[in-house]
Amino acid sequence: MVQLQKRGPAYLETFPVKRIAVTIYLVLSVAMAIPFPPGRIVLAYLGLATIGNSSWYIFAILLMYALTYVAFKLAPGQPNRAIILLFIGTSCYLVIAVKQLPPWYAETIFSYLGGVLFARYHEPIEKRLTSSWGHYWLLFLWTFSLFCGFYILCAITPYRWLFFISYQFAAICFPLLFVFLAMKTTIRAPFYRYVGGTAMFSIYMLQRLPMILGRHTVLAHQPVRYFCFVLVSTLFLGWVFDQLVGRFLQRLVGKRASVSVK
């Protein structure tokens, strides 16, 4: 939401490029003689099937970005109305996902909407919290208590509908705790800022590549070396992926800008 406000609809156009990650998994599968039917490969690009990558995460992001794009297109210059449309679209998806898809496709979907709301009203919220340590700690502890309460409720409730509702609230409270911590702490080390910032998507998406490779080597029986191999390889692959995608996007944006000028 913050990037959408700063960069406009062009920000949404950068995400489909990152579907290249699925192609990497496909190439690895072919190299390891792991066959996949064409239909499953197509579904993998849509996030509805997996060929080694995290399909549910991809699908959730693609869906929410698409809903965000449509909502803000239908209500240009009216962010509050667009958020209402986004809420309606997300709710419709949640009902369908609960009935038709595995549970993890729906468990955390409203955390995106929670982030959108926070981004929309973050200035008055941050101003209030940073003006008083009392307000800050009160909201932090209240959010932490809500997270614990909803998480415990998820574990003990026998009702599926109550589980999903509780999980949604827990999924909203959990990242909020890190947002509140970020208000009072600053990470100065460039490496940690990179890993926890711009590299987070690529690291998450590519971490299974070295895991898959490592399982087919002698490292599979050496946990410490296997862990080190996966850690170093994931960081390296994430950096290479970000560099390649970044350059591709720069060329793509540059070409579109030149076409629009013409």
- Min mean pLDDT across 69-73, 94-98, 176-180, 257-261 is at 257-261
Answer yes or no: is pLDDT of 17 > 60.
no
CB 89 within 8 A of CB 119: no
Look at residue 61 and tell me if it is in a domain. Answer: no
Would 208 be classed as within a structural domain?
A: yes
Q: What are phi and psi of 109, to 5 degrees?
A: -65, -30
**For the chain, how many structural domains are there in total?**
2
Q: What band does 9 get if pLDDT is binned at 50, 70 and 90?
A: low
> Which range among 22-26, 76-80, 106-110 shows the weakest confidence by mean pLDDT?
22-26
Last residue of a domain, one of 142, 160, 185: 185
Q: Are residues 170 and 214 located together in one domain of the fold? A: no
pLDDT at residue 24 is higher than 60: no
Residue 148's domain spans which residues? 133-185
Tokens at 214, concatenated? 């490592």
Higher per-residue pLDDT: 245 or 75: 75
Within a domain: 49: no
Average pLDDT over residues 73-83: 87
What are the tokens at 84? 């209402």
- Quickly state the pLDDT bin for 145 (edges 50, 70, 90): very high
The reply to whether 37 falls in a domain is no
* 173 and 220 within one domain: no
208 and 241 belong to one structural domain: yes
- Is 164 a domain residue? yes
- Span 248-257, pLDDT tens digits: 655 654 554 4
Same domain? For 198 and 166 the reply is: no
Q: Is the pTM of this model over 0.85?
A: no
Q: In the listed set 147, 163, 185, which residue is the last one of a domain according to the structure?
A: 185
